[in-house]
Amino acid sequence: MIFVTGGAGFIGSNFVLDWLGQCDEPVLNFDKLTYAGNMHNLAALKDDARHLFVRGDICDGEQVLALLRQHRPRAVLHFAAESHVDRSIHAPGDFINTNINGTFSLLEATRAYWSELDADAKAAFRFLHVSTDEVYGTLGPDDAPFSETTAYAPNSPYSASKAASDHLVRSYHHTYGLPTLTTNCSNNYGPYHFPEKLIPLVIANALAGKPLPIYGDGQQVRDWLYVSDHCAAIRRVLDAGRLGETYNVGGWNEMANLDVVRALCTILDRLAPKAGAPVSYLEQLTYVADRPGHDRRYAIDAGKIERELGWKPAETFDSGIFKTVQWYLSNQAWVADVQSGAYANWVEQNYLNREAAA
């Protein structure tokens, strides 16, 4: 069995679904079910005996340790995190609590469990920590992409909290010998993505006839990684990664946010054209004031994981974004379900009250 934290969130639920789609090893799925955790993501596993869901908080070390002792997993895969930069600007305390204190509690519970294992089980055990490229800060237009040796320079409460969690994981390997692995990924996209993030927000707003908000000039560059490719990379690192090492996972797809939105509108114009006159969704583009401290460019050098472990992404941006739009068009009930009153209030707070960009 493997123990997955945050397995009802975007990346976590995709990982659980992909894992059980490829093997029969059971999953203990541990999730707090905050606004971004959605059991509907896991509906396909409702009657699957290989999937055991437990609601709980990684900050509750006693509950985590009790579950580890009861189910005796061979690995802990740590996806649970507060992950939205804009929310970290409005409410940084939640990010400190979950991403730093929660990771600490999880590490302590895991260390206690691991120390009780016999020698063979100890040697086989793994703790895999899923992190972000945002810990590295921002890049200039001509800077080399982030590598595993790039110095940390986080610029938001979110990225700072994830950087702290990365350092904690590293320290538990070097101090206690806990067999850890860390992955730092670029921007994920794909099914089950909560519509506070750029791609699902644009799709939802376009179909609803709402403005498509573009921060600043829209030239912020990100490396885009299809979520199933990310899941495959994590499985590979779990299987063959060197203990104590970090592996950067990217899609080799650098694109400006504005170009991503234009690509989405082009696909929507084809798959779900507006009624009446041939009007493009591009007409809904709206430029809004940039968020504070917005990093200009992220880029991942994913050469190490390809050289050492043979992983590289299967999807191009064109193929992955087309699959993503198709999924959202086919799953409008899921979108409507997650767009609760609380989510609507968040959108109003973050977007509607911004002054339009000059």
Write out the catalytic residue numbers. Answer: 133-134, 158
Q: What's the distance, Cα to Cα, between the start and end of the chain in Å?
A: 54
Neighbours of 349 (CB within 10 A): 13
Beta-sheet strand order (sheet of 254-256):
187-189, 221-226, 254-256
HEC secondary structure over 75-110: EEEECCCCCCHHHHHHCHHHHHHHHHHHHHHHHHHH
The three-state secondary structure class of 7 is coil
Retrieve residue 23's tokens: 């093997």
Cβ–Cβ under 8 Å, residues 61 and 106 = yes
Nearest Cα to 30, choosing from 10, 57, 11, 62? 57
| Cβ-based neighbours of 21, under 8 Å, separated by 6 or more | none
The three-state secondary structure class of 293 is coil
C-alpha pair distances (Å), 327 with each of 11, 103, 322: 15, 32, 9
Instruction: Give the Cα separation of 234 and 215 in Å (integer).
Output: 31
Instruction: Give the Cα separation of 138 and 109 in Å (integer).
Output: 34
Cβ–Cβ under 8 Å, residues 234 and 77 = yes
Neighbours of 102 (CB within 10 A): 27
Type and span of the H or E element at 45:
none
